[in-house]
Amino acid sequence: MNLCDIGQIRALLSGHGFRFSKSMGQNFLIAAWVPEQIAEEAGLDEQTGVFEVGPGIGCLTVELAKRAGKVVSVELDRALIPVLDETLKDFENTKVISGDVLKLNIAEIVSENFTGMKPVVCANLPYNITSPLISAFIEADCFESITIMVQREVAHRICAKAGTSDYGAFTVYTNWYTEPEILFDVSPDCFMPSPKVWSSVIKLTVRHEPPAQVADEKLFFAVVRASFNQRRKTLLNALTSGLTGYSKEELHDVIVGCGFDEKIRGETLDIKGFAAISNKIAELQKG
């Protein structure tokens, strides 16, 4: 069965009485090259265990199963479970879990299913919960890489440079824990139904060490959030409003003491800049 052929997809779905759900952000791939290239770019082999979210009818799942040692897919829509039972019946190295991935213990699933394997994420993500899913993958702290298809604007936001309009707190967060790169773009006509936006496949290679040394990681992210919560304000005013326990004069001295102009905006700082600011503020806590 060609799981990217429109005619065969419609016959398959009709046979199971399936209807698309807008609330679940369901868009099935109809361009065979896309799942093939995603699977290739993920760098899979028989020692790799793949965690997939939102398999749909299984077109990417099949390509993953051809290359990896095992694939575990989590599907929220119960109506797709019997469809997947049919499309994945020839692949004994696949397992489908019915449930909401954001309510599951991802690290536990990985531990139970991928013993002795290199765990990775590879998925065409539901676009309505992309950011929470990426955060969940990172916080699970058990994957070596995360290869995913997301909205192109999200990909640009994750890979943005400091000082650009796409750069934000989520950029800093993902770049703190991973090294992201955009692999390729996917046009709307590669899906059924066709979405209104372009997509991009990105790979997040999980870092073994952070890109900068900080005295207090929690404080570091508090500084980042405060800086972007009011990004049009100067860094000084944003930190004064967003952090408690420090005077404006103290924060002024921190910024200037790190070698920055007192009127600098937080959105222009890179990770090392935020690290310098948070480390200087940490010194205030000691003193």
pLDDT, tens digit, for every residue of 69-78? 999 999 999 9
| Residue 21: CATH number of its domain | 3.40.50.150
Residue at 221: amino acid letter:
F
Question: For residues 81 and 14, what is the distance between their CA atoms, to the nearest angstrom?
Answer: 14
pLDDT, position 62: 98
Residue 93 included in any domain: yes
**Total count of residues recorded for the chain:** 287
User: Do 170 and 221 have their domain in common?
Assistant: no
User: Do 254 and 126 have their domain in common?
Assistant: no
Q: What pLDDT, in 10s, does the model give residues 187-242?
A: 999 999 999 999 999 999 999 999 999 999 999 999 999 999 988 899 999 999 99
Indicate the average pLDDT of the chain. Answer: 95
- Look up the domain containing 236 and give its range: 217-286
Name the pTM for this structure.
0.95
Cα dist. 104→74, 86, 176 in Å? Answer: 9, 25, 24
Residue 226 included in any domain: yes
Residue 53 tokens, joined: 């979210």
pLDDT, position 114: 98
Among residues 150, 182, 206, the one where a domain terminates is 206
User: Do 147 and 111 have their domain in common?
Assistant: yes
CB contact at 8 A, 184 and 195: no
- List the single range of 15-29, 61-75, 209-223 with lowest mean pLDDT: 15-29
Number of domains composing the chain? 2
| Residue 257: CATH number of its domain | 1.10.8.100
β-pair partners for 121:
51, 146
User: Do 11 and 97 have their domain in common?
Assistant: yes
CB contact at 8 A, 263 and 199: no
Question: For residues 19 and 14, what is the distance between their CA atoms, to the nearest angstrom?
Answer: 8
Q: Does residue 248 surpass a pLDDT of 70?
A: yes
User: Do 114 and 231 have their domain in common?
Assistant: no
